């Protein structure tokens, strides 16, 4: 196996006295898809926000493609430019059209000429099926369309890995699949992905491994089939029985 | 009302216009100075290292808890004592309005910036934009759209409040009308005219602000 794309080693994080991540360790290989699940408040979102340095952590080490995230000397904007991130609430820029949302970072961070950045943005919007909505503003798009624009925005930086923070939990049920379909497509193309989600159908279909967290601790980190067939911990069994019966 | 005499107003128009010019001048200068001061104060409150945020907050809270007329008096009577010579009614009034409005503008600007969802900054930074670039392209344009109508509304209040300069003997629009009213014994006509002028100008400005909000609101 090649060197892992992302390694998380013994990471601890505190909000004041609150210990939100406890000695978390895992690895993600190039092209691997890892789903992080667990009850709310278990630290899943915080963990992936540590991977691109949006959240600082106090102990441990996170390496992304050989770059140490926690190192003071690391140029975080440069590192983040190589890692795509998709948020639960989309966080599209409301004062820009869909096209400009996707175009901004390639132009301002990579320094592409305006026309080239726009062409790239248009190609990505086409890829997520939204070419005809390019000139619309976020408020004119449905939740599912907005999240697909957000995925295009992340892809526009040609990332080496993608982080998804509950990308479908703010969506109406009928549009969840249009977002999951895009993500399945990405996985099929070999994108390295860490996905925080409760969509267990997606996890079974796409994930190579499942990381199960509770109370800031990684309780299980196992291949997908093994995790679903025989959860090793009582906590994971309870969690699965609750969300799979519905 | 049968002896309502429009002729009085017509004859007084040049004099009243002089007063209105002073009103508009103080409004414009205090608005420009106040927004500059307010921007500096807001930046100090949001981003400066200690003790500047605390100092700026103290200034804002102090000025906002004072009646405006006290601030006008304060600069007119106390500043000459401090600097050892008279500063004149116009400069002292202008300083008073600028410093007073700066406190209000500061809070409007700060609220505009803080009102932009926190996730927007994170999303922009996640794409590789630096903090400054994220502010410039993502946060501030949204903050600006939110704050401009409120800044203008505050400026309409400033326009009305400039009539307080009569206490330091300046001839603004209202004072000019008072002078004519006393001289010609035409209080009803003059104060009615003043009220109509303030009403028309403020309603027109408010409508302008409303249109701006609708344009930004899409």
Nearest CB among B117, B122, B128 relative to A105 is that of B128
Element (H, E) at B9: helix B6-47
Chain mean position to CA B172: 16
The pLDDT value recorded for residue B5 is 81
The pLDDT value recorded for residue B2 is 56
Q: Which two tokens stand for residue B49?
A: 């290292």
Q: How far apart are CA A204 and CA B164, in angstroms?
A: 73
CB contact under 8 A, A95 and B127: no
* Cα three-residue angle A50-A56-A59, rounded to 5 degrees: 90
The pLDDT value recorded for residue B20 is 96
Nearest CB among A77, A87, A156 relative to B119 is that of A87
Closest residue by Cα to residue A65 from A155, A8, A3: A3
- Is residue A42 a contact partner of residue A216, using CB atoms and an 8 Å limit? yes
Name chain A contacts of B119, Cβ cutoff 8 Å: 87, 89, 91
Rounded percentage of chain A residues whose pLDDT exceeds 90? 93
Reply yes or no on whether the pLDDT at A47 is more than 60: yes
Interface test with B, best of A55, A78, A108, A111 (most B CBs within 10 A): A108
Query: B130 — contact with chain A (CB < 8 Å)?
Result: yes
* A88-139 per-position pLDDT tens digit: 999 999 999 999 999 999 999 999 999 999 999 999 999 999 999 999 999 9
User: DSSP character for A209?
Assistant: E
CB neighbour class for B155 (10 Å; exposed up to 12, middle 13-18, buried from 19) = buried
Query: B148 — contact with chain A (CB < 8 Å)?
Result: no
CB contact under 8 A, A77 and B130: yes
pLDDT level of residue A1 (50, 70, 90 thresholds): low
Reply yes or no on whether the pLDDT at A188 is more than 90: yes
The DSSP bridge partners found for residue B147 are none
The pLDDT value recorded for residue A91 is 97
CB contact under 8 A, B126 and A54: yes
Interface test with B, best of A105, A158, A166, A194 (most B CBs within 10 A): A105
Element (H, E) at A210: strand A209-214
Name chain B contacts of A154, Cβ cutoff 8 Å: 126-127
Rounded percentage of chain A residues whose pLDDT exceeds 70? 98
The pLDDT value recorded for residue A3 is 76
- Is residue A221 a contact partner of residue A29, using CB atoms and an 8 Å limit? no
The pLDDT value recorded for residue B217 is 65
Interface of A with B (CB under 8 A): 49, 52, 54, 76-78, 80-85, 87, 89, 91-95, 104-105, 108-109, 137, 139, 150, 153-154, 156-157
- CATH for the stretch B6-216: 1.10.3720.10
Tell me how far CA of residue A110 lies from CA of A56, A117, A144, A178, B177, in angstroms: 25, 9, 28, 29, 62
Closest chain A C-alpha to B147 CA, distance in angstroms: 14
How far apart are the two ends of chain A, measured CA to CA in Å? Answer: 38
Q: How far apart are CA A230 and CA B6, in angstroms?
A: 94
| Nearest residue in chain A measured CA to CA from B138 | A93
CB contact under 8 A, A139 and B130: no
| Nearest residue in chain B measured CA to CA from A157 | B127
Q: Which residues contact B178 (CB under 8 A, 6 or more apart)?
A: B166, B190
Query: B133 — contact with chain A (CB < 8 Å)?
Result: yes
- How confident is the prediction for chain A on average, in pLDDT? 94
* A66-102 per-position pLDDT tens digit: 999 999 999 999 999 999 999 999 999 999 999 999 9
Size of interface A-B (CB pairs under 8 A): 67
Give me the torsion for CA of A195, A121, A144, A175, rounded to 10°.
Answer: -90
Chain mean position to CA A101: 18
The pLDDT value recorded for residue A181 is 95
Name chain B contacts of A55, Cβ cutoff 8 Å: none
Q: Which residues contact B58 (CB under 8 A, 6 or more apart)?
A: none
| Nearest residue in chain A measured CA to CA from B144 | A95
Per-residue pLDDT of chain B (218 residues; tens, 9 = 90+): 557 788 888 899 999 999 999 999 999 999 999 999 999 999 999 999 999 999 999 999 999 999 999 999 998 988 888 888 888 899 999 999 999 999 999 999 999 999 998 899 999 999 999 999 999 999 999 999 989 999 999 999 999 999 999 999 899 999 999 999 999 888 999 999 999 999 999 999 999 999 988 887 64
Residue A85's CB is within 10 A of a number of other CB atoms, namely: 27
Reply yes or no on whether the pLDDT at A165 is more than 70: yes
* A221-233 per-position pLDDT tens digit: 999 999 999 999 9
How far apart are the two ends of chain B, measured CA to CA in Å? Answer: 48
CB contact under 8 A, B123 and A85: yes
pLDDT level of residue A243 (50, 70, 90 thresholds): confident
User: Strand, helix or coil at A177?
Assistant: helix
Q: How far apart are CA B71 and CA B81, in angstroms?
A: 15
For residue B89, report the phi and psi dihedrals to the nearest 5 degrees: -65, -45
Query: B146 — contact with chain A (CB < 8 Å)?
Result: no
Closest chain A C-alpha to B126 CA, distance in angstroms: 5
Query: B47 — contact with chain A (CB < 8 Å)?
Result: no
Name chain A contacts of B130, Cβ cutoff 8 Å: 77
CB contact under 8 A, B137 and A81: no
What's the pTM value of the predicted model, to 2 decimals? 0.85
pLDDT level of residue A245 (50, 70, 90 thresholds): low
Query: B118 — contact with chain A (CB < 8 Å)?
Result: no
The pLDDT value recorded for residue A185 is 95
Outline where chain A has alpha helix (H): 44-51, 76-80, 98-108, 114-127, 143-155, 173-188, 200-206, 224-229, 234-244
- Is residue A155 a contact partner of residue A147, using CB atoms and an 8 Å limit? no
Q: Which two tokens stand for residue A23?
A: 């000695």
């Amino acid at each position: 196996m090649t060197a892992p794309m992302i390694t998380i080693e013994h990471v601890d994080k505190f909000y004041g006295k609150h210990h939100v991540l406890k000695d978390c360790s895992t690895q993600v290989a190039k092209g691997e898809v890892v789903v992080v699940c667990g009850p709310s408040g278990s630290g899943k979102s915080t963990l992936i926000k540590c991977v691109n340095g949006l959240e600082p952590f106090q102990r441990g080490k996170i390496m992304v493609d050989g770059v140490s995230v926690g190192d003071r000397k690391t140029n975080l904007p440069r590192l983040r430019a190589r890692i795509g991130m998709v948020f639960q609430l989309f966080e599209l820029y409301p004062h820009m059209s869909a096209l400009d949302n996707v175009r901004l970072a390639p132009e301002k961070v990579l320094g592409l000429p305006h026309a080239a950045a726009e062409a790239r943005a248009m190609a990505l919007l086409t890829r997520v099926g939204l070419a005809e909505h390019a000139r619309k503003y976020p408020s004119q798009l449905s939740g599912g369309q907005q999240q697909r624009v957000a995925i295009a925005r992340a892809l526009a930086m040609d990332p080496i890995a993608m982080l998804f923070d509950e990308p479908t939990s703010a969506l109406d049920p009928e549009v969840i699949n249009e977002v999951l379909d895009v993500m399945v497509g990405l996985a099929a193309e070999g994108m390295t992905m860490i996905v925080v989600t409760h969509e267990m159908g997606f996890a079974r279909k796409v994930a190579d491994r499942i990381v199960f967290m509770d109370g800031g601790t990684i309780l299980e980190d196992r291949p997908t089939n093994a995790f679903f067939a025989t959860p090793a911990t009582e906590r994971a069994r309870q969690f699965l029985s609750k969300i799979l019966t519905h | 009302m049968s002896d309502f005499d429009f002729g009085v107003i017509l004859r007084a128009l040049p004099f009243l216009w002089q007063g209105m010019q002073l009103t508009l001048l103080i409004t414009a200068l205090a608005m420009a100075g106040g927004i500059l001061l307010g921007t500096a104060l807001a930046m100090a409150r949001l981003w400066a290292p200690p003790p500047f945020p605390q100092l700026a907050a103290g200034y804002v809270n102090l000025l906002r808890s004072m009646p405006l007329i006290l601030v006008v008096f304060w600069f007119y009577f106390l500043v000459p004592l401090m600097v050892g010579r008279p500063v004149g009614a116009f400069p002292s009034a202008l300083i008073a309005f600028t410093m007073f409005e700066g406190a209000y503008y500061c809070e409007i600007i700060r609220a505009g910036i803080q009102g932009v969802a926190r996730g927007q900054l994170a999303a922009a930074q996640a794409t590789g934009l630096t903090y400054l670039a994220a502010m410039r392209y993502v946060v501030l344009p949204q903050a600006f759209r939110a704050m401009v109508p409120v800044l203008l509304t505050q400026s309409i209040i400033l326009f009305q409040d400039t009539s307080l300069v009569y206490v330091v003997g300046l001839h603004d629009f209202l004072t000019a009308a008072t002078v004519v009213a006393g001289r010609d014994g035409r209080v009803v006509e003059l104060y009615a005219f003043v009220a109509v002028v303030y009403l028309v100008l403020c309603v027109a400005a408010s409508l302008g602000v409303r249109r701006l909000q609708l344009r930004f609101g899409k």
